[in-house]
């Protein structure tokens, strides 16, 4: 048994949920459905349509922060003060930016290289590897001469041990730098492969952007955009780019451990 007030609130919330549900909102196409968040309170924004005019014959679509419906949503006690975001303008901005990203994949690969610290050129990598190799070879020759000096009784055992230990420590330091450089080199080679895969994906997808249907646009948006955050007049688009063919068919949100 529940009180009448609680029953009415539950009924109101169920009514709101029904009106917002995708299965019951097929009259309007919202390209960014379930992908927009409010930058003010970070709650999800809901795709809605408003009718106006003398005969309610005009319609305007919006993305509205769910925090403005605090009685129907799990939100703070005070309603969010964010403005309604006109859907048509927001979708145009996001789609234009997405097309720009796909037609200029170098912006993605450049960001990827910076994120992985891949600023070195291949010749610089090789030059540093060669310098380390020469340095270790020189230390090896010094150790040989030191041993010969000890065997020839030119230096005492204590002096030999001290100088040998110093040379071995310097050699180990260079060896550690070599290992680190090899790791960075392998990482760079993997990065080149990932960058090539991204460029290939963009080339395949970019050719059909001009004639894409709404369904095709929606699939691309779902695949490549994790979140669109609207704060006043500012729009932040958080992209997720497939790095190999197997990831082109899985939405990024499905990979999150907390998705369910």
Q: How confident is the model at residue 120 (pLDDT cuts 50, 70, 90)?
A: very low
Write down the domain spans for the chain: 28-110+212-255, 116-205
Collapsed DSSP state (helix, strand, coil) of residue 241: coil
**Residue matched to tokens 């688009």:** 237
Ramachandran assignment for 42, one of left (phi > 0), alpha (psi -120 to 50 degrees), beta (any other): left
Res 13 pLDDT > 60 = yes
| Helix ranges (DSSP H) in 116-156 | 122-151
Range with lowest mean pLDDT among 157-166, 178-187, 207-216: 178-187
Average pLDDT, the chain: 80
- Tokens matching residue 12: 């109101």
Checking 201-208 for CB contacts under 8 A at 24+ apart, the result is 201/241, 201/242, 201/245, 201/248, 202/101, 202/102, 202/103, 202/105, 202/108, 203/105, 205/102, 206/99, 206/102, 206/103
Residue with tokens 């922060």: 65
Mean pLDDT to the nearest integer, 226-245: 88
User: Domain 116-205 has what CATH class?
Assistant: mainly alpha
Asked if residue 214 lies in contact with residue 241, where contact means CB atoms within 8 angstroms, the answer is no
**What's the whole-model pTM score?**
0.58
Rounded to 10 degrees, the C-alpha dihedral 78/82/86/89 comes to -150
- Does residue 20 carry a pLDDT above 70? no
């Amino acid at each position: 048994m529940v009180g009448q007030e609680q029953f009415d609130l539950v009924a109101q919330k169920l009514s709101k949920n029904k009106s917002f549900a995708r299965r019951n909102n097929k009259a309007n196409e919202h390209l960014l459905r379930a992908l927009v968040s409010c930058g003010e309170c970070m709650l999800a924004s809901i795709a809605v349509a408003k009718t106006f005019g003398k005969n309610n014959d005009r319609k305007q679509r919006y993305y509205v922060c769910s925090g403005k419906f605090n009685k129907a949503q799990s939100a703070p006690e005070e309603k969010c003060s964010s403005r309604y975001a006109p859907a048509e303008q927001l979708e145009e901005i996001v789609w234009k930016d997405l097309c720009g990203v796909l037609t200029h994949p170098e912006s993605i690969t450049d960001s990827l290289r910076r994120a992985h610290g891949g600023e070195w050129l291949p010749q610089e990598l090789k030059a540093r590897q060669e310098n380390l190799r020469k340095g270790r070879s020189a230390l090896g020759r010094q150790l040989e001469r030191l041993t010969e000096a000890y065997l020839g009784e030119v230096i005492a055992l204590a002096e030999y041990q001290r100088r040998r230990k110093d040379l071995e420590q310097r050699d180990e330091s260079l060896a550690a730098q070599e290992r680190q450089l090899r790791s960075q080199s392998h990482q760079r080679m993997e990065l080149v492969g990932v960058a090539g895969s991204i460029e290939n994906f963009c080339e395949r997808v970019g050719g059909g952007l001009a004639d894409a249907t709404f369904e095709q646009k929606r699939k691309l948006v779902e695949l490549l955009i994790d979140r669109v955050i609207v704060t006043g007049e500012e729009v932040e688009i958080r992209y997720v780019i497939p790095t190999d063919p197997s990831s082109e068919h899985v939405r990024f949100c499905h990979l999150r451990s907390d998705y369910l």
